[in-house]
Structure 1
């Protein structure tokens, strides 16, 4: 593995009862890049993510992280190594405050996860860092708000803060803008840019306008295999990619390129 690649797959394959969902994928993610996985529905993007984050075991192939094989490791083991996934569905505690959610994540990083019985005083040492992280994602004013009361876009910002509390070297983002209106999408674009400083981001994203604004490199999947790779300009001009997307989505490719 080249030192410039922080995450790599070799011949990564996943079969489900004879159906090949991921077909010999050789993915290389360069250190410091924001890298997108895109493709039409059923292309295998989420399955690749599930394989990388170890929620599925590959049928064959290897996953290499920072030069070392991680194919046989468990999700908690790779998280401790710095490969952390933020889920498509917001995964925060609704009946805890925004500050408490980040504090729990910081406890996990320290190896003291979910010690809810600890005294408030013993947890206050984490407050300064938690508040700093909330400030970074624009949630400082919501620190004492119950999470369940946050608008959807703000919940996703909180989810990102709790993920960053684990101090990932590589951040896996699964559909960070799904279900959002235009204002929230722009907010998340800014958050991802800030989150990417000093780390690598690999994201699955359907919103091609977001991809065109954020990503250094794009891998296009179709029928479980890599169809094309490159920057947005080259990928969006590729006739095979346009054929795979067809109709309105192909038009979005052109619009994002313009």
Structure 2
């Protein structure tokens, strides 16, 4: 855990995201129960757990696709529990999805440009001349180069390999200029080479942003994460760095004999 110069644990001002008693109940089934999260600024925080642990439901609560039965969500010191998903994104908390959400019929640069338009709230101003979009090209090219897709700038997104589609999705997410980036299984379906490429991009993203991710690949989690929160049956089972979490007997039992996804 990070500490200040006096050696004390950081206070709430160091947290970009906090939840208190976060709970989600579906007709008597409690999917998330009294979850307290403290996500510190400029760190990579992983949310892990066995299948059915409540990770995706927790993500849906944080990004306002679900409204909690109980509890609070605080982002940058502001209570956003009842704030809608679009407003939450405008505040700087942006999510990517496990299933790629790019526009297959658009080119790489067009996908990034659409995301930049969303940031400017001009996505649906179809009556504007095409020339009005030219100022976005320079920033779109910067993002495309940053994620290593410059040689595919004018390719249709649907023609990209799966790994490059995930990289493009990361570029479109970054186009929204998030302060907190929530990644839902960014390594899902990737081959070994693509995992290394995306992991390095996540590490670079976290240099000036905060990342909260759900991820099943524990090699990636151990390599990237500053803090790991383990969920099981909707509740927090353990939290800490990888060494402390992976050696926790309760965590090993939850994963049925060993920490693996």
Q: TM-score, normalised by structure 2?
A: 0.94
Q: Which has the higher helix share?
A: 1
Partner of 2:117: 107
Partner of 2:84: 74
Partner of 1:32: 42
Is it true that 1:154 corresponds to 2:188 in the alignment? no
Is it true that 1:231 corresponds to 2:248 in the alignment? no
Question: What's the CA shift string for 1:193-228, capped at 9, x where partnerless?
Answer: 111121100000000001001000000001100000
- Between the aligned partners of 2:197 and 2:126, the Cα distance in structure 1 is 32
Unaligned runs of 5+ in 2: 1-10
Larger mean CA deviation between 188-197 and 58-67 belongs to: 188-197
Kept in 1, the 8 Å contact 2:246–2:259? The answer is: no
Partner of 2:52: 42
- Between the aligned partners of 2:153 and 2:124, the Cα distance in structure 1 is 19
Q: Tell me the CA shift for residue 93 of structure 1.
A: 0.6
Mapping 1:101-180, distance limit 5 Å:
101-180=111-190
- Between the aligned partners of 1:117 and 1:144, the Cα distance in structure 2 is 24
Question: What's the CA shift string for 1:8-66, capped at 9, x where partnerless?
Answer: 00000000111111010011100111000000000000000000000001000000111
What secondary structure, in the 3-state scheme, does the structure 1 residue paired with 2:204 have? helix
Q: TM-score, normalised by structure 1?
A: 0.95
Partner of 1:246: 256
Q: Tell me the CA shift for residue 252 of structure 1.
A: 4.2
- Between the aligned partners of 1:252 and 1:62, the Cα distance in structure 2 is 31
What secondary structure, in the 3-state scheme, does the structure 2 residue paired with 1:27 have? strand
What secondary structure, in the 3-state scheme, does the structure 1 residue paired with 2:121 have? coil
Mapping 1:143-222, distance limit 5 Å:
143-222=153-232
Q: Relative to structure 1, is the Cα distance of residues 155 and 114 closer, same or farther in structure 2, using a 3 angstrom cutoff? A: farther
Partner of 2:101: 91
Kept in 2, the 8 Å contact 1:104–1:114? The answer is: no
Q: Relative to structure 1, is the Cα distance of residues 31 and 251 closer, same or farther in structure 2, using a 3 angstrom cutoff? A: closer
Q: Tell me the CA shift for residue 73 of structure 1.
A: 0.6
Mapping 1:55-66, distance limit 5 Å:
55-66=65-76
Q: Tell me the CA shift for residue 116 of structure 1.
A: 4.6
Q: Relative to structure 1, is the Cα distance of residues 118 and 97 closer, same or farther in structure 2, using a 3 angstrom cutoff? A: farther
Question: What's the CA shift string for 1:143-164, capped at 9, x where partnerless?
Answer: 1000000000100000000000
Q: Tell me the CA shift for residue 117 of structure 1.
A: 4.8
- Between the aligned partners of 2:188 and 2:248, the Cα distance in structure 1 is 25
